[in-house]
Amino acid sequence: MAKLVHVMEEIEVPDNVEIVVDGSKITVKGPLGTVTRDFSHVREVKLVKDGNKLIVEAYRVNRRDKAKVFTVASHIRNMIIGVTRGYRYVMKIVSTHFPITVSVDKENGVVRIKNFLGEKADRLAKIYGNVDIKVSSDEIIITGVDIEQVGLTASSIERATRVKDKDRRIFLDGIYIVEKGVGIE
């Protein structure tokens, strides 16, 4: 199996974004906020800032190490998109049997789901990181600059309302992700 000598991926940095490279830790600052990520677990990859470009490279790599270079580059691109345009998930509240009430408890870092399937106890979903959650009558909108935090929060809410012991064709109640994408309104 032949070894590749050098793999490099260049990332263009927009003018309104500032990137700080501290070893394997990257901080991306933009108009919407700041995202920091540590890539120290990927020892084969080297990060170099060159003017308005960020170079992700590795030397003497095999196929797996080559994939790591492109994965790290993709994470950094997502960070740049997050601080310039942001990420937005839209969730739909579906209640056919019992009216569900959803409230955000920022102090405790949870989303409270009341009266789900007529249960007396509230179901709780964790809020990850610094995301904004807006609840309307039948919709939840989650926005933020870090795609991982926004996605984890949305999946936490969806997981909290999973129906286990009933027929899913009849009990459609729950909170479901219906739209996800780029752009904060």
pLDDT of residue 166: 83
- Last residue of one domain, picked from the residues 35, 61, 84: 84
Judge if 139 and 173 occupy the same domain: yes
Q: What is the CATH number of the domain that holds 148?
A: 3.90.930.12
Q: Domain total for the chain?
A: 2
Judge if 113 and 160 occupy the same domain: yes
Judge if 99 and 40 occupy the same domain: no
- Last residue of one domain, picked from the residues 84, 111, 126: 84
pTM (global) more than 0.85: yes
Judge if 177 and 129 occupy the same domain: yes
- pLDDT higher than 60, residue 2: no
Judge if 74 and 146 occupy the same domain: no
- Domain range enclosing 160: 87-182
Judge if 38 and 73 occupy the same domain: yes
- pLDDT higher than 90, residue 83: yes
Q: Give the tokens for residue 51.
A: 């003017």
Q: CA-to-CA distance for 94 and 146, rounded, in angstroms?
A: 27
- Last residue of one domain, picked from the residues 28, 58, 84: 84
Average pLDDT score over residue span 60-70: 88
Q: CA-to-CA distance for 152 and 163, rounded, in angstroms?
A: 19
pLDDT of residue 50: 87
Q: Give the tokens for residue 60.
A: 């003497």
